[in-house]
Copies of this chain bind each other. A is one copy, B any other.
């Protein structure tokens, strides 16, 4: 690998690093990601990265931020009913998870306090309050929703070494109930399945609102 002379610019900056880092994790997975590999990918000495990012942990932060920014904001003109906002956000979040299945575990593990994440939450919460939902429900709902989204998408996108494990066979003697349902789990990870489950969660939230007489 031909290296640059010592003082010449390599044109590094956070943006270029972020893009390369995400691509590297997408390709090789989190396990194989590291400072040295990223540097080689960029044609650069490992230590040069430290002028732009503090270290490996900070690199992971950069990656998760970059990927989270892909979750599209709900368009301003769209209807403001809270269920619509929740559905749109959830699907956009899911799309991102499927685009970057090997990055996704990183998001789930860190507390999300970036402006993008907070803005999405704020839109959901204010839509719920505008619809007259009690504060307790508006407070619980996003945690239930994102709890479900994170857990479920983690399972669907595999998050292990590589892709999601196929649904196992069930011994009908030991597990009669699961064997009977096995065929229903064939489309594991489909949009239809996701939307159905999302519906269950949203139903649960809607049910918390006091019934209008």
Contact = CB atoms under 8 A, between A and B. Distances in A.
A63 interface: no
A40 interface: no
Contacts of A160: 109-111
Of A110, A141, A197, which is in contact with the most chain B CB atoms at under 10 Å from its CB?
A197
Contacts of A151: 108, 146-152, 154
The binding surface of chain A is classed by DSSP as helix
Of A148, A159, A165, which is in contact with the most chain B CB atoms at under 10 Å from its CB?
A148
Contacts of A135: 180-181, 184
Contacts of A126: 176-177
20 contacts: A105-B109, A109-B159, A111-B160, A113-B165, A118-B170, A119-B175, A122-B176, A122-B178, A129-B177, A135-B180, A140-B196, A140-B200, A143-B155, A143-B197, A144-B197, A144-B201, A147-B148, A147-B155, A201-B204, A204-B207
Given A135-B181, A148-B151, 11 more contacts: A111-B160, A111-B165, A118-B178, A129-B180, A139-B184, A143-B197, A144-B148, A150-B154, A202-B204, A203-B207, A204-B204
